[in-house]
Amino acid sequence: MASDVSEIEVEIKNADGLHMRPAMQFVDVATCFESEITVTNGETTVDAKSIMQMTMLAATCGTRLTVIARGPDSCDAVEKLRVLVEEKMFDEPGEESREKGIGKRE
């Protein structure tokens, strides 16, 4: 059903980009939903519920990704994923804090 498809564009805002830990957080959130969820950077399209595939996006800070969910909870799914990527920024520092040398991890 067309009404069960939700699509959203998100921008990676944390300085370190979508490395393994954020990718795992993304997969954890995606897995909570019944919808089938894919993420694409234009070149590569991957399954949002597979950690191996998500890491293959190599999304650096500033990269825009399209998240597409298909299923009964698709609307809620893309919104939760947007919040994780753009608002929570995977609980990591953004570009500005990195330049100032604060909030550095690892």
Using CB under 8 A as the binding rule, whether residue 106 contacts other proteins is answered as: yes
Torsion angle of C-alpha atoms 89, 39, 25, 18, degrees rounded to 10: -60
Using CB under 8 A as the binding rule, whether residue 51 contacts other proteins is answered as: yes
- Nearest-approach distance from CB 86 to other proteins, in angstroms: 18
Using CB under 8 A as the binding rule, whether residue 16 contacts other proteins is answered as: yes
The stretch near other proteins (CB under 8 A) out of 10-18, 32-40, 71-79, 80-88 is: 10-18
State the DSSP code for 24: H
C-alpha–C-alpha distance, residues 48 and 39, integer Å: 6
100 counts as catalytic: no
C-alpha–C-alpha distance, residues 28 and 46, integer Å: 15
How many CB atoms within 10 Å of residue 87?
Answer: 8
Using CB under 8 A as the binding rule, whether residue 88 contacts other proteins is answered as: no
User: Given 19, 21, 70, 82, which residue is catalytic?
Assistant: 19
- Judged by CB under 8 A, which of 9, 11, 60, 103 binds other proteins? 60
Using CB under 8 A as the binding rule, whether residue 84 contacts other proteins is answered as: no
Can you state the angle between helices 20-31 and 74-82, rounded to 10 degrees?
Answer: 160
- State which residue, 1 or 102, has the beta carbon closest to other proteins: 102
